Structure 1
Amino acid sequence: MRNKSGVPGQGTVSADVAAFTRKVGAMARPMGAQDGRLLFALDATMSRQPTWDLAVSLQAEMFRAIPKDSGLQVQLLYFRGFGECRASKWVVDANALAKLMTGIACQGGNTQISKVFAHARTEHAKRRINAVVYVGDAIEENIDDLAAKAGQLGLLGCPMFVFQEGRDTRVEAGFREFARLTKGAYARFDASAPQELAALLKAVAAYASGGKDLLKLQGSGQAQALLAQLPH
């Protein structure tokens, strides 16, 4: 059920990046709010093994985009194997999260996206989650059931930023719907363009920590390129 036979063209990826960052910019929340929380959820089933190391390296980019005193907390959630779905503690250190990720090996199994939604709801009830990032390549559950759970997250004000690896059109339709229902955004995970994915992760982290205003504090040329795509 996993289709990875094609890689999107550079123009398509860039269009997704532009649309995604425009959406993030429009969702800016006020500075000075409580420290942000970002749930980083990953499909760790066997088909993801070739790009797992890339995800490990790129997650650090989320932290590098944020001032150390911002207090952004990130929790890792992953599923794999026969019904295994685990969450880490909330951390504020890129090295701590990277260490957690390097200890995970991908295993065969079906997707457990419903558990991602359930966990996000539980954590959000304890304290607001400002953004959920999900990276995956397949949907092996009932899409209508998942869409209903996504809608519940949307009603709670918990946006989901969905990254798709591969070009399965059914998966894309589902992922786009999850993003729409949660008032989040969708973009394709193109392993051949890791810097674009890193830029997207930075944008989400900046939004979770302080919104569009915090994006302006990023000094890299890549960050400035992102800002140029945001509405004034």
Structure 2
Amino acid sequence: MSREPTKPRSGSEVSPASGKPGAVPEIKPSAAEEIAAFVARARAMSPHAPGAKGRLVFALDATMSRQPTWDMACALQADMFREAAAIGSLDIRLVYYRGLNECRASNWISDTGHLARLMSGIACQGGNTQIGKVLAEARREAVASGVRAVVFVGDAMEEPIDDLCARAGELSLLKVPVFMFQEGHDDVAEHAFREIARLTGGAWSRFDPGAAAQLRELLRAAAAYAAGGRGALLRLSRPGSGAAQLLGQMK
């Protein structure tokens, strides 16, 4: 049996802001103040605490056209762990999308054998890109447990670019750079990938289809950054190297 709501006592008005009779209504902050407060809170969430374990979101397009590169990434992922081990330590969270509406994320993985077994059990399936979901997952994890960098490997973009840029902006506030590694020469993908990288303070780079050596260098450089920050990437850099390509674009 429901009760009727209690009526307020007569003779005084109650302010919702304070619950006290006759209180002055609370003055709401301006939109600019709210934005400034949000930015301050977001920056305070930065995962780059000294001595913290490096965490890298490793995201892959697993649609049908990506099968050769998926197999290549399976073979090269151990190089990321080896590069990071020379600097500190690294946990990797695998994120991939495929099919019509499937986007999945693994737990944090610190063992190269475990990641290799997981990746080898995944088959590519036809479907559209879901890069927005990848960026949203990276943001969620950055707030929950800290992420130092995101690596994305793909060859296409089939989503509203403004939506992707909005999600990239959220990662920028959290100081999480996104390294966009593009296979091939699709102009639409390049435009979007470059913009995501620019907004997050990351970097874009292209590698040729089937070019394992190029992708290896890029993945090693990104892992070095995730494990040791900009200084580690600088130490790895040499003229023409993958690390030099990334450093040349990062803010």
Give the TM bin, normalised by the shorter chain: 0.7 to 0.9
CA distance in 1, matches of 2:187, 2:60: 20
**Of residues 64, 76, 83 in structure 1, which corresponds to 2:101?**
83
CA distance in 2, matches of 1:144, 1:228: 29
Q: Alpha-carbon deviation of 1:196?
A: 2.1
Rg bigger for which structure?
2
CA distance in 2, matches of 1:68, 1:93: 15
Q: Provide the secondary structure at the position in 1 that maps to 2:110.
A: coil
| Alignment-derived partner of residue 121 in structure 1 | 139
Please show how residues 131-210 of structure 1 align to structure 2 within 5 Å: 131-210=149-228
Unaligned segments of structure 2, at least 5 residues:
1-46
Over residues 100-127 of structure 1, what are the superposed CA-to-partner deviations in whole Å (9 max), with x where a residue is unaligned?
A: 1001000011111111011011101112
Unaligned segments of structure 1, at least 5 residues:
1-28
Instruction: Verify the 8 A CA contact 2:69 2:210 in the aligned structure 1.
Output: no
Instruction: Verify the 8 A CA contact 1:215 1:227 in the aligned structure 2.
Output: no
- Counterpart code for 1:121: R
Instruction: Verify the 8 A CA contact 1:164 1:189 in the aligned structure 2.
Output: yes
| Alignment-derived partner of residue 18 in structure 1 | none
Matched, 1:99 2:117: yes
Aligned residue pairs total: 199
**Of residues 70, 73, 76 in structure 1, which corresponds to 2:91?**
73
- Per mean C-alpha deviation after superposition, the further-off stretch among 47-56 and 186-195 is 186-195
Relative to structure 1, is the Cα distance of residues 31 and 206 closer, same or farther in structure 2, using a 3 angstrom cutoff? farther
CA distance in 2, matches of 1:113, 1:30: 24
**Of residues 45, 67, 80 in structure 2, which corresponds to 1:62?**
80
Instruction: Verify the 8 A CA contact 1:32 1:210 in the aligned structure 2.
Output: no
Please show how residues 191-230 of structure 1 align to structure 2 within 5 Å: 191-214=209-232, 226=241, 229=244
Q: Provide the secondary structure at the position in 1 that maps to 2:107.
A: coil
| Alignment-derived partner of residue 108 in structure 1 | 126
CA distance in 1, matches of 2:127, 2:143: 29
Instruction: Verify the 8 A CA contact 1:216 1:227 in the aligned structure 2.
Output: no
Larger relative contact order (Cα-Cα within 8 Å, sequence gap ≥ 6): 1
CA distance in 2, matches of 1:41, 1:124: 14
Identical amino acids, percent of aligned pairs? 55
CA distance in 1, matches of 2:85, 2:161: 38
Please show how residues 11-22 of structure 1 align to structure 2 within 5 Å: none
CA distance in 2, matches of 1:64, 1:168: 31
Cα RMSD for the two superposed structures: 2.4
CA distance in 1, matches of 2:101, 2:234: 41
CA distance in 2, matches of 1:166, 1:69: 31
Over residues 65-102 of structure 1, what are the superposed CA-to-partner deviations in whole Å (9 max), with x where a residue is unaligned?
A: 12278231101000001211111110111111111100
Instruction: Verify the 8 A CA contact 1:79 1:85 in the aligned structure 2.
Output: yes
Over residues 148-199 of structure 1, what are the superposed CA-to-partner deviations in whole Å (9 max), with x where a residue is unaligned?
A: 1111111111110001111111110010000001110000132343212211
Instruction: Verify the 8 A CA contact 1:132 1:159 in the aligned structure 2.
Output: yes
| Alignment-derived partner of residue 16 in structure 1 | none
